[in-house]
Amino acid sequence: MTYRLSGSRRALLAAGSALAFLLTVAAAPAAQAAPTAADAKTFIETAETRLLELSIQAERALWVQSTFITHDTELLAAEANEVLTAVSVEYAKEAARYDQVQLDPDLRRRMDLLKQTLTLAAPADPAKNAELSRLATSLESTYSSAKSCRPGGECLDLEQLSDLIEQSRDPKVLLDVWTGWHDTAKVQRADYARLVTLANEGARDLGYKDTGAMWRAKYDMEPDAFAREVDRLWLQVKPLYDALHCHVRARLTETYGKDVVPPGEPIPAHLLGNMWAQSWDNLYDLVAPPAADPGYSLTGLLKERNTDAVEMTRYGERFFTSLGFAPLPATFWERSMLTKPRDREVVCHASAWDIDAQDDLRIKMCIQTNEEDFRTIHHELGHNFYQRAYKNQPFLYQDSANDGFHEAVGDTIALSITPEYLQQIGLIQQVPDPSKDLGLLMRQALDKVAFLPFGVMIDQWRWQVFSGQIPAERYNQGWWDLRRKYQGVQPPVARGEDAFDPGAKYHVPGNTPYTRYFLAAILQYQLHEGLCKAAGNQGPLHRCSIYGNKEAGRRLQAMLEMGLSRPWPEALEAVTGSKQMDGTALVNYFAPLKVWLDGQNKGRTCGW
């Protein structure tokens, strides 16, 4: 569940704003004339031209920094991003001058989007502005440099701690690792509380009730209406999550005993194979259905064919060309980084890049010949084909329909990597019997379904913090109240208000909105269902692949080309025929697994 914030034009601005290189806009002259619609048009065209120019410069600098890490390239990337962010903040605040001017719908939309590039809005007071910038930068740096030090002097970073929590089945080791990492966040608490106060002041300067309302205003509906929409979607998928939770808890009780995992209680958070209990795929061997082996190993098949990084990527490209999309430009193959260089340090985390807002598309990834990277490259190319599809839109529309769509499109494509698809492209000779589907569905559910409540509660907590519903003296209690409510997990030991457990998840100190990931988890299945209907699929949804279907490709292209130019319900309608996000497609996809889980859960104590 990753999303490279610099993968789209407006998201690059938001990423800079999240890092809070926030500058104060000079006060307007007292005698300045009231702005007009003509002024607004000139302003927005000037802003788009300048921001596009600066974003291209920032993308190029960031690309070099990511593929050639040195002290100097990091400085150059930071400087380019700082210039871009400073200008975006200035334009966003200037856009607020036109709030009361009568504008045509297109111009009003672009003006609102310009304001919404900000993640943190700076207060007008220069001293508070500088303080907010310092706090935001410090919080992210504190998280990134955190280490848990054990008696005897050994200090482990998050990557090392995550390896332990993913691999160990010793509850004492897991408790030590989990507590050690979460305790590193204690030092963030006071700074975060002050950041909330300052960010809210800046949001009010832009006309929003608080920062949470500013974030929710980005979804083509009233902020409170969007919050209700998230709740509605969650309730649609909650029964599926509850069934998975019940089965996983029962297996954990069998593994660790009732004293460690009591039936009918929330699951201790350190036992789920992930530092934040957001993905449970490392528990597959404990919870898998019997005889669920599909009879082939995709990793093994790829290695038998000596499939290299370029051919892995060609498989993904051929998926899109089979739908009717044009092949990737020659520059993609010349400029992408598909393998890890031997002569320098690079950022291997997979990401899709749109350097010039036209055709300079690239992938940055250290591809390994395995099933995970085969799926990942299909996903990342989903971003690239989306980026190219909206290249003819104005700068402020060069993004996905809402921030959940970009990630959802990549995941939608990955859902078509079915046994049928693997047979079509010659990787397997025979499609496994449907009785083997339960294992495939369980593996996916431990990732996608287990994530759903976590995807909801992160911003539920922040929205309540920004609004004051959760005051600073109850930060940790509010966090765990929501985790119990949504996830059915609890801390393995008592966690008081001396702790700041929200800060143990990057997106909190990094000030990155999180609801996008929940929306992407819902949307990918709804988009998949819509495309499968267009392709004439008659079988179960989890066995559908749209590979080779031009009608599905036509609908997908129509949605991608809109970018952010229209409200997201219209983009959704282009593929699904509906203007409402809907979790029932996800439920339908996992229906066979739900039947199996319900059978397994008979006689068990479910819920918490």
Cα–Cα dist 262/271, whole Å: 13
Cα–Cα dist 385/320, whole Å: 8
Catalytic residue among 90, 94, 420, 507: 507
Cα–Cα dist 416/409, whole Å: 11
Cα–Cα dist 18/334, whole Å: 32
Which residues neighbour 107 within 8 Å (Cβ) at sequence distance 6 or greater?
Answer: 37, 40, 41, 44
* Torsion sign (Cα): 301, 305, 308, 313: negative
How far is the CA of 187 from the CAs of 86, 151, 412, 474, 496, in angstroms?
28, 20, 39, 16, 14
Q: Is 380 a catalytic residue?
A: yes
Angle 22-28-30 (CA atoms, 0-180°, nearest 5)? Answer: 150
CA dihedral 280, 282, 283, 284 (to 10 degrees): 100
Cα–Cα dist 16/117, whole Å: 9
Q: Is 349 a catalytic residue?
A: no
Locus of tokens 């332990």: 164
Identity of the amino acid at 285: D
Burial of 149 (0-12, 13-18, 19+ CB in 10 A): exposed
Catalytic residue among 48, 59, 131, 380: 380
Identity of the amino acid at 306: N
Which string of DSSP letters, residue by residue, matches 241-279?
Answer: HHHHHHHHHHHHHHHH-TTTS-TTSPEEGGGSSSTTSS-
Strands (E), 11-168: 148-149, 155-156
Report, as residue numbers or ranges, the catalytic residues. 380, 507
